[in-house]
Amino acid sequence: MFKYKLLNEGTITIVSFAGDMDIDVTELIEEELSPLLMNKKEIQIDFSEVPFVDSSGIGLLITLVKNLQEKGNKVQIMHIRAEVKQVFAMLELSEILGNDVLNDFHDAV
């Protein structure tokens, strides 16, 4: 089961994801989480508890990050597990989202 937790630390909002990011979480992210993040200026998404991301999860992540960036928000995805990094690398996600979003991505691909 996928869950998220929000933690505000000063000007930074940390979103911790836990569970598989697949088609089952689309509604939760789009309808519940996304509106909560729109007025946050600096967002860090913690992927340390995400063991699996499928194509719908990738699409959802791209949409979420792009929508936040359009509002002028700074977004970073942090603590990506090795198995998820491999998927991100194959899809060249750092090219799509930008190296500033995946700043710790290149540390251990």
pLDDT score of 103: 76
pLDDT at 105: 66
Residue 75 near residue 45, CB atoms below 8 Å: yes
Q: What are the two backbone dihedrals, phi and then psi, of residue 103, each rounded to the nearest 5 degrees?
A: -65, -30
Give me the average pLDDT of each 10-residue run along the chain (109 residues).
Answer: 94 96 93 94 97 95 96 95 94 92 68
pLDDT at 109: 45
Structural tokens at position 99: 């190296």
Among 60, 54, 61, residue whose Cα is nearest residue 22: 54
